[in-house]
Amino acid sequence: MAESERSPIEQAFDQLRQELGIRSGFPDDVLHEAERVAREKDPAASPAHADRTDVPFVTIDPPGSRDLDQALHLERAGDGFRVRYAIADVGFWVERGGAIEREAWQRGVTFYAPDHRESLYPTSLSEGAASLLPDQVTPAVLFTMELDARAEPRSTAVERARVRSRAQLTYEQALDHIEGGGKRFAGEEWAESLVLLREFGELRRQREAERGGTSLPAQDQHVQKQAAARLGYQLEYEGPNPAEEWNAQLSLLTGHVAAQRMLEARVGLLRTMPPADPEDVAKFRRAAAALGFPWADEASYAEFIRSLDLKNPHLPALLWQARRLNHGADYVAFDGDPPENTQHSALAWEYAHATAPLRRLADRYVLDLLATLGAGNRPSPEEVATLCALPKVMNEAETRAAKLERRAVDVAEAWTLRGCEGRVYPATVLGFRNGHDVEVQLENPPVRAVAKREGTEPRLEPGEPVQVRVAGVDATKGEVRFEVAG
């Protein structure tokens, strides 16, 4: 699209990507290589991939998704479950040392913005040949997990396989079938997987609670494109669909067994997070008390989070504070002795990123390693060196992705509030910046901001209502200045 055809807000998103050094479009040699391998490589002819096309896999993703990383199949196995989780085998398509791989290392992840995304791989692969789209034979790395009645793994096998998904569902469609008594897709060979997904997901959430893992029930702020919205975009908060949460438990379990397998083999790439600082937890406990959330002295942080009333109007303010406890996530490669800290503290177990290879560079190499180990082999020195080079690349890429997401919201907020200088909005105090200025949450539009305060104004507390005035807006830079009005 020509520059003149893009709206002012889309031009602002373009500028933001340029500032963050995010690559736009693919070089011709990358596109040509992707088109060639998509055209010439035949998964059905690969002797390294077992034929598992008889398994009725199904995918569950947001509406309109084309880069489908995972497909699932669940069935009863005695008093437990047999879970098959097929993950796109990027290693089949992307040759090491080729143009596609070199470009992927320049990107690290898929970058999402409201107007479009910059994919990790060309769409001929990520949304075509390598994607687990329905009714096409696709190479995958297949996890087959035998689980007991508590949904705890008894055994896990990992192999390269050819699979064929039978249907592509949205989370809403899956939930409608599950909560509708299994009627929507009755008779489909994959329908039982959906019903079992809820049972599996709830059991896994119980296991998470027992080990002290914590998933914040946060509503994330997104910028979504809407044809009728101002400038084609609007701000909203998006809560998780229960089916999405159950599906996430399957991804988390897969990441855990992947980490365990690599630790047993004494080689791999983990995703770790240090425990929260006790002083930070104490500050958070005081913030919860100030916001009116009861927290028993004997209850742990994880127990407290699971007890939250999701309808409490002060919940956003509390979760804003809680996010500060979960920081410091890192990629750690090892060959030989495992790292000193192997735990992801928020999940309360060992964990590895392995389930999104079409969107995250590291996952492809973790899957390659697991398939190698599953075949009874060891990685080559070159493969180990690649694993050891990934943490720096991934940490930098995910930092850029987080900045893009946050600053895209800033731009949309500025465009939403342009022309509103002088207007006063009700807000809730979240915390403080520099010991004086106030972090606030507006209710409508759903904007988080920092409001300036005069030195003589009285002390405010987290959760306290406050009025803030729009003091200035620079829509081009994505900046809005607020000041406390009362």
Same domain, 290 and 257: no
Predicted local confidence at residue 307, as pLDDT: 84
The answer to whether position 157 is within a domain reads yes
Same domain, 137 and 204: yes
Same domain, 257 and 284: no
From CA 160, how far away is CA 52, in angstroms rounded?
10
Same domain, 140 and 114: yes
Same domain, 282 and 249: no
Q: How far is CA 360 from CA 104, 393, 441, 471, in A?
A: 9, 11, 32, 40
In this model, does residue 228 exceed pLDDT 70? no
Minimum mean pLDDT range among 70-79, 125-134, 433-442: 433-442
Same domain, 288 and 170: no
From CA 272, how far away is CA 125, in angstroms rounded?
30
Same domain, 318 and 437: no
Same domain, 73 and 200: yes
Pull the structure tokens for residue 255: 């990441």
In this model, does residue 349 exceed pLDDT 80? yes
Pull the structure tokens for residue 89: 């085998």
In this model, does residue 248 exceed pLDDT 80? yes
From CA 191, how far away is CA 194, in angstroms rounded?
6
In this model, does residue 59 exceed pLDDT 70? yes
Quote the radius of gyration of the chain (alpha carbons, Å). Answer: 24
The answer to whether position 271 is within a domain reads no
> Which residues have CB under 8 Å from 179's CB, separation 6+?
none
List the alpha helices (DSSP H) in 123-186: 123-124, 171-179
Sign of CA dihedral 87, 90, 92, 97: negative
Predicted local confidence at residue 245, as pLDDT: 87
Number of alpha carbons in the 13 Å side-chain half-sphere of residue 358: 26
Predicted local confidence at residue 415, as pLDDT: 85
The answer to whether position 389 is within a domain reads no
Question: What percentage of residues in the chain have a pLDDT greater than 90?
Answer: 64
Same domain, 257 and 285: no
> Total structural domains in the chain?
3
| Residue range(s) defining the domain that contains residue 284 | 278-325
Tens digit of each residue's pLDDT (9 = 90 or more) over 277-316: 887 788 788 778 877 888 998 888 888 888 888 777 777 6
